[in-house]
Amino acid sequence: MPNTLMAGRRSQDWANLVLAVCLFLSPWVIGFASDTTATWNAWIAAIVLGALAVATLSAFAEWEEWANMVIGLWLIVSPWLLGFMANVNAMWTHVILGVLVAAIAAWAVWDYRHHSHA
């Protein structure tokens, strides 16, 4: 059981690392690099998300998943709070990646709390 539980957590952490890379590259790939607020928001969130994913890959801690949840929720609301909701490409990129990050974090927390901690 511990091996499958750890393998499940690792897949969630790898998914977060992939999402962090996607988020970091999104200003160029999606085409909103000229919007500095959206671009910097994506870069900063991606760096924090990537750092947390790498840290969680080395040693799991539940607080890191809660931090990922906060980053995901921030990505969802940041277009409106930072005022780049008119840039549809940036807005949808942030919202979609935020939903994915928050969902993966919720899954990881649920998985941690509903399986043995061996």
Asked if the structure places residue 118 within a domain, the reply is no
Per-residue pLDDT at 1: 42
Asked if the structure places residue 44 within a domain, the reply is yes
Per-residue pLDDT at 43: 97
Asked if the structure places residue 100 within a domain, the reply is yes
The rounded distance, in Å, linking the Cα atoms of 47 and 49 is 5
Please name the residue ranges forming H helices in 1-115.
2-26, 36-58, 62-82, 88-114
> How many domains does one find in the chain?
1
Per-residue pLDDT at 5: 43
What b/e readout covers 19-30, taking b as 16+ CB neighbours within 10 angstroms? bbebbbebbeeb
Are the CB atoms for 7 and 108 separated by under 8 Å?
no
List the chain residues with pLDDT less than 50: 1-8, 118
Asked if the structure places residue 18 within a domain, the reply is yes
Asked if the structure places residue 98 within a domain, the reply is yes
Domain hosting 69: range is 2-113
Q: What six digits make up the tokens of 68?
A: 């990922």
Per-residue pLDDT at 11: 81
